[in-house]
Amino acid sequence: MTPESLFVYFGLCVLLAISPGPDNIFVLLQSALHGYRTGFLIVLGLCTGLLFHTFIVTVGIAGLIAASDTAFTILKLLGAAYLLYLAWGAFRAGPVKAAGEEGLTTTPPALSGGQFYRRGILMSMSNPKVSLFFLAFLPQFTNPAAGAIKVQLILLSALFILSAFLVFCGIVVFSGYFGQLLKKSDRAQIILNRFTALVFAGLAARLAFSTK
């Protein structure tokens, strides 16, 4: 594994992390509504969930998912169900008031920091396409002559997680400025929550009807 190949691989990982997807949308919207701390906890949860997919790939279970239509169907339906759960929660969510603002009451967070962290983990773990992506993408950058394949897969997975962490943190920082504007308008927050629900419902449908 040459430095050049690792550099190219890391660049591709960054591009893939930047591309729009449910994780990016979730980080952006929740950070905008609930602040930096919530955003960073979700990012940590998502990256923790990627460790699960690293384990799946390195022990070869992802091969079973790729080979078994039943296993893939079960996992994708579970992922779709979880996205629908997130859609329902977003649809029911009310506006968030900023603490200490004159004339406004403080609305306590609907979820604790730990719950946001666990939600990020579940979002990542419930998407079987991440494991399939790891299975299809990572081996292309391994070199049997460079040592144990499992060790190389772990290294490549770590670089992928690092790229995702950096990109998601960038989204959190950007969304903070956006969030300050949102907290000044209840109507804007409600519209954004409805839009979030629609996006997650659409992603759930897309995942449910997806094929390998």
Kindly report, residue by residue over 56-74, the tens digit of the pLDDT. Answer: 877 775 566 567 778 777 7
Band the pLDDT of 46: cuts 50, 70, 90.
very high
Band the pLDDT of 108: cuts 50, 70, 90.
very low
Burial 41-55 (b: 16+ CB within 10 A, else e): bbbbbbbbbbeebbe
Check pLDDT > 60 for residue 187. yes
CA distance linking residue 158 with residue 156, whole number of Å: 5
Check pLDDT > 90 for residue 48. yes
Match 């897969």 to its residue by tokens: 153
The pair of structure tokens assigned to 147 is: 């040592």
Band the pLDDT of 166: cuts 50, 70, 90.
very high
By percentage, how much of the chain surpasses pLDDT 90? 8
pLDDT top residue among 158 and 134: 158
pLDDT given for residue 45 in this prediction: 93
Residues in Cβ contact with 159 at an 8 Å cutoff, skipping those fewer than 6 apart? 6, 9, 10, 13
Check pLDDT > 50 for residue 106. no
Geometric angle at alpha carbon 121, from 119 and 124, rounded to 5°: 110
Contact 194, 41 (CB under 8 A): no
CA distance linking residue 82 with residue 201, whole number of Å: 10
Geometric angle at alpha carbon 142, from 141 and 146, rounded to 5°: 135
pLDDT given for residue 61 in this prediction: 57
HSE, side-chain direction, 13 A CA sphere, residue 14: 10
The pair of structure tokens assigned to 168 is: 């998601």
